[in-house]
Structure formats: C-alpha cells, structure tokens
Structure 1
Amino acid sequence: MVLLPQIFIACLFLGMYSTGSLLGCKWIVKDQDDINHQFHVYNNRALGFLDMMITNTTKDAEIEHTVAFPNQLYHQKSKATDEDKLAFIVQILEEVAALFEEDHSSASWEENTVENFLNIVNKQAEELRSCVSSLSFKVQRRTEMYFKRLSNEILKKNGYSAEAWETIRNITEDHLRQCGFLVNSLGNAH
C-alpha cells in the first residue's frame, strides 16, 4: 500500500516532465521580446553560409537526378507531436552535416565557410536533441535512406563535381527552410 502513492508521484512527475520539457527548451522558446527562437537565429546563419557557398556553375550543367524531395515526410511530421517533430529535425540536421563531411573539394568553397556552416548545423542538432527524450528519438529509416540516395545518386555518381555540390546545396537550403516551418508549427504556446 505504501508504494501506491510513490508510484503515483513518480508517474505525475514523469508526466509533468515529458509535457513540460519542450517548454524549457531554450532553442524553441522565443526570447524575451518574443521575436526569435534560438533555432531560427542559427537556422538563418546556416542559410547565410549556404548562400556564401554558391558554386559557379552554368544552368546547362545542372545535375539531373531522380531523388525526389521528401515533401510527404515533412507533411506527415507536420501533424506529429512536438517531440516527434523535434526528433525529425535533429535527424535531418545530422544527416545534412554528414553529407557535407563528404569530399567537397571540387566545389571551391572556402573551408572556413563550410566549417562555420557545419558548426552551426551541429550546434542546432545538439541543442534540439537535448530537448527530445531519448525514448522518443528513433532514427527514421526513410529519412536515412533518402540522404544515402542523395549521396550515392547525386554526389558519388557525378564524381563529387561542383555541379553535384550545387544541387546538394540547393536541396539543403530547402531542408533548412522546411525545418524552420516545422519549428514554427510547434505548440502555439511556444
């Protein structure tokens, strides 16, 4: 009989922690002026670095590819719980970072710019991961396979060319924007 109140208190605490954990996440709570999420500040910086990484290629040299942008996956996640949305965003950011770790020497990007971009993306992933309980974080196989296809069918197939990297840069920009939309869709209380 003594255990029942203790179990109730433990369940109550766990319930309060899991529902309130996103509220305390500094990366999704707006600042005191209610202007920006930390996520958006960093996401805008990452997008700025991507803009600096434009590769000089001609329109005729664009890479033809069959890797469709996963709009359906983003649509599904837009209807998920806040924690599932954050877990998905973390995986997208981690996959983007892994993609940009590949050989980008033909893209003629300044290494410092690429490093700054990667630092920001990794920082976003790390901070948002701390907002997601380890129980709800599961690697989405479809997302993982999508990024493997990007690597194989765009980068490797085209010899990591400047044109291939420009295609990846454009796709990455779309992903960062979609992640921003998902963060905006988090509970109205944020």
Structure 2
Amino acid sequence: MINKIFFASLFLGLFSAGSSLSCRWMDHKFKQHNEETLNLLDAMADSSTKTTEVKDAVAFPNHLYHQASNSSAEEKLAFTAQILEEVAALFEEDHSSASWEESTVRNLLNIVNKQAEELRSCIGSHKKKNTKLRMYFKRLSHHVLKQMGHSAEAWELIRKETKDHLMRAEQLTSSLCSAH
C-alpha cells in the first residue's frame, strides 16, 4: 500500500515538474525567440519594393486579439501558437520573387515552428483552432499572395503584416510569463 502511494506521489510529482518545465520555456525563451524572428523580418525588408497597405478585405484582426486578451492563459497560448503556425504556412508558399536569402527564410521558419511547438507543449489539452483567425490567414494567402502573383510587393506586405502579428502576440503573452 505504501509503495503504491509512494509511486503515485512520485509519478504525480514528476508529471507536475514536467508540465511546469515545459512552460518555463515561456518565461525564458519565447520573448528571446520572438525578438530573433522580428530581427529576421527586419533583415528581410526590401527597401526597393514600393509598398501599399494590405487591402480592406484582409484588415488586421484587432478584434480577435481583443477577444484573446480576455481569454484564459491556455487560450492565449493556443491563439498565439495558431498565429505562429499560420505564419509558418504563409512563409512556406512560393517566395522566389522576394529578395530574401533562403537561409534567412529557413531560420525564420525554424524559430516560428519551434515557438509554436513549445507553446503547444504548454497547453494541457489540444485546443480547438480559431476559425476566424484561420480564415484571416487564408484571405492573406489568397487576396495578397495569390492575386498579386507571389510578387516581391506581395511578400513585403506579408512581411510587414507578420511583424505586426508577432509584436501583438508578444503583448498577448507577456502577461503570462510571470504567471507560470
């Protein structure tokens, strides 16, 4: 009987330690990785490309960020992880017209995918994805990239939009860092 209690306690202790360890990443690495990603996006800026604003059909989803900011910590992490996954999917599209170094894009994708993976590991259960956020990124892909022929100008718009998302995601998650 005492052995069962001991092993149950040991298991529970290890499980709890494992859970908190996986979320310690949020305190120590998320901001650092986000800054690296923002720096890579800045390095990818194409000053020779004339820029316009993203069309109204793809207006920045401020309302979704507002909703997420009033959500639980787990929902904030899930929302942020989805943003990162959607950004990664965008940058996996044909970017041959952009003047970016392939190694820079690979580094960006590696960091963004790592962030999404680590955030997902902090979430207790598999959260349902936000359909409105998914549709927003589909519109970015269709109305900006595809309709503009994956041009350098289209990619510059996507780069700027991505930077805005990463800055907003950091704001959204900054309140969680001390909570873990």
2:123 to 129, 132, 140: 132
Residues in 2 aligned to 1:64 and 1:88: alpha-carbon distance in whole angstroms: 22
Aligned-residue RMSD, C-alpha? 2.1
2:98 to 107, 111, 117: 107
Residues in 2 aligned to 1:22 and 1:83: alpha-carbon distance in whole angstroms: 13
Q: Which has the higher contact order (CA 8 A, sep 6+)?
A: 2
2:87 to 96, 101, 108: 96
How far does the alpha carbon of each residue in 1:151-190 deviate from its partner, in whole angstroms, 9 at most, with x for none? 0000000001101100000000000001101111227534
Equivalent position of 1:3 in the other structure:
none
Residues 22 and 84 from structure 1, CA distance in 2 versus in 1: closer, same or farther, beyond 3 angstroms?
farther
Deviates more, 1:63-72 or 1:76-85: 63-72
Matched length:
166
Residues in 1 aligned to 2:119 and 2:143: alpha-carbon distance in whole angstroms: 29
Equivalent position of 1:143 in the other structure:
133
Q: Give 5+ residue unaligned stretches, structure 1.
A: 1-8, 30-36
> Does structure 1 conserve the Cα–Cα contact (< 8 Å) formed by 2:22 and 2:121?
no
Specify the code of the residue in structure 1 equivalent to 2:36.
Answer: R
Residues in 2 aligned to 1:134 and 1:110: alpha-carbon distance in whole angstroms: 37
Residues 105 and 85 from structure 1, CA distance in 2 versus in 1: closer, same or farther, beyond 3 angstroms?
same
1:65 CA drift (Å): 1.2
**Stretches of 4+ aligned residues off by more than 3 angstroms:** 20-24, 56-59, 187-190
Residues 117 and 89 from structure 1, CA distance in 2 versus in 1: closer, same or farther, beyond 3 angstroms?
same
Residues in 2 aligned to 1:123 and 1:116: alpha-carbon distance in whole angstroms: 10
Equivalent position of 1:38 in the other structure:
29
Equivalent position of 1:177 in the other structure:
167
> Does structure 2 conserve the Cα–Cα contact (< 8 Å) formed by 1:93 and 1:122?
yes
Specify the code of the residue in structure 2 equivalent to 1:144.
Answer: R
Residues in 2 aligned to 1:21 and 1:48: alpha-carbon distance in whole angstroms: 30
> Are positions 1:53 and 2:44 aligned together?
yes
Equivalent position of 2:52 in the other structure:
62
Equivalent position of 2:24 in the other structure:
26
TM-score when normalising by structure 2 = 0.84
> Does structure 2 conserve the Cα–Cα contact (< 8 Å) formed by 1:90 and 1:128?
yes
> Does structure 2 conserve the Cα–Cα contact (< 8 Å) formed by 1:42 and 1:120?
yes
1:115 CA drift (Å): 0.3
Q: Give 5+ residue unaligned stretches, structure 2.
A: 1-7
Residues 64 and 177 from structure 1, CA distance in 2 versus in 1: closer, same or farther, beyond 3 angstroms?
closer
> Does structure 1 conserve the Cα–Cα contact (< 8 Å) formed by 2:73 and 2:176?
yes
Residues 22 and 168 from structure 1, CA distance in 2 versus in 1: closer, same or farther, beyond 3 angstroms?
farther
User: Identity of aligned pairs, percent?
Assistant: 58
